[in-house]
Amino acid sequence: MPTASENALFGMGNPLLDISAVVDKDFLDKYGLKPNDQILAEDNHKALFEEIVKKSHVEYHAGGATQNSVKIAQWMLQEPHKVGTFFGCIGEDRFGEILKQKAREAHVDAHYYEQNSEPTGTCAACITGDNRSLVANLAAANCYKKEKHLDLESNWELVQKAKVYYIAGFFLTVSPESILKVAKHVSDNNKVFCMNLSAPFISQFFKEDLMKIMPYVDVLFGNETEAATFAKEQGFKTEDIAQIARDCQNLPKQNEKRRRVVVFTQGKDDTVATVGDKVTTFPVVDIDQSAIVDTNGAGDAFVGGFLSQLVVESPLEECIRAGHYAANVIIQRVGCTFPEKPDFH
């Protein structure tokens, strides 16, 4: 088995400080939130951020989908430190300092573009039972600039060092030109580019940018809701998740040396993945419902576990098993947090 090397995994996305709290249905209704959703904050959500920090049990965690996944991959691998590189934009403020500190603690090689026109982004995780409604106020995360950061020689060298790349669909709302530059490099050098559908609104409102990147995608992640929305938006004539996976696999592809792999998680139901010409299901780890503390971050954790094995060139089945393991650990804890060491063999 190859071992992981420093900066072998590259991630780029929206670094956010997660603010999570248990709320009630009235709170969700007040701000027009669905129990299980991800949305971008609008003007009517400004007060939500002020209100949620006053709740009795508020927790702050370094977040943002891609950053979470890179952090989990690093945790799964343990050694060496800094297997994962992460790029994103933060503000020059206290929340930004917390994100830098948390990245260091997680042994992730984070290189943030720091600016002072916008504060560090936050994400309110409004938890009711085992549902979570996420409201992201991107703020600084929205200010990432290709020419100010990605194009700098020292940063681009880090991009070139990697073998596996992961960018969540969320970053399409910020810098599609940065994603395209990375994706082209990956394709031209026959490396592995992974992307996530991330949320229904990405397939609906950022369709054009998403489909510009799709030909470069070697591994596509998503959950059952995102898959269904993507299929509908693309005019696939099916609601069957296995068929949607196959249809996604067959979309045009730039680097024909690699067959696209499509992986759709379905919460507690089996994960669906394309394996060559077949679509196979993989059962998740059994868990007692009462052991579930917080499903926020389960999808990010699955991807992180998967990437940890992809970096060391494990077969697909092992990547999925690692994804299931990581997600199982995360849902038994608050936020995207983990014990000191994994117990994955």
Annotated catalytic residues are: 300
Q: Among 15, 18, 4, which Cα is nearest to 73's? A: 4
Question: In angstroms, rounded to a whole number, what is the distance separating the alpha carbons of residues 164 and 121?
Answer: 26
SS3 of 179-218: the string is HHHHHHHHHHCCCEEEEECCCHHHHHHCHHHHHHHHHHCC
Beta bridge partners of residue 91, listed in sequence order: 115
Which strand (E) or helix (H) includes residue 100? helix 94-105
Are 260 and 251 in contact by the 8 Å Cβ rule? The answer is: yes
Tokens of 161: 């060092």
Residue type (1 letter), 45:
H
Among left, alpha and beta (phi > 0; psi -120 to 50; other), residue 129 is: left
Which strand (E) or helix (H) includes residue 220? strand 219-223
In the numeric block, the tokens 């709302």 are attached to 173
Question: In angstroms, rounded to a whole number, what is the distance separating the alpha carbons of residues 46 and 50?
Answer: 7
Question: In angstroms, rounded to a whole number, what is the distance separating the alpha carbons of residues 329 and 337?
Answer: 9
Tokens of 238: 């099916």
Q: Among 247, 8, 194, which Cα is nearest to 108's? A: 8
Question: In angstroms, rounded to a whole number, what is the distance separating the alpha carbons of residues 250 and 172?
Answer: 22
In the numeric block, the tokens 């085992």 are attached to 130
Question: In angstroms, rounded to a whole number, what is the distance separating the alpha carbons of residues 289 and 326?
Answer: 17
Question: In angstroms, rounded to a whole number, what is the distance separating the alpha carbons of residues 310 and 186?
Answer: 15
Burial of 258 (C-beta count, 10 Å sphere; 0-12/13-18/19+): middle
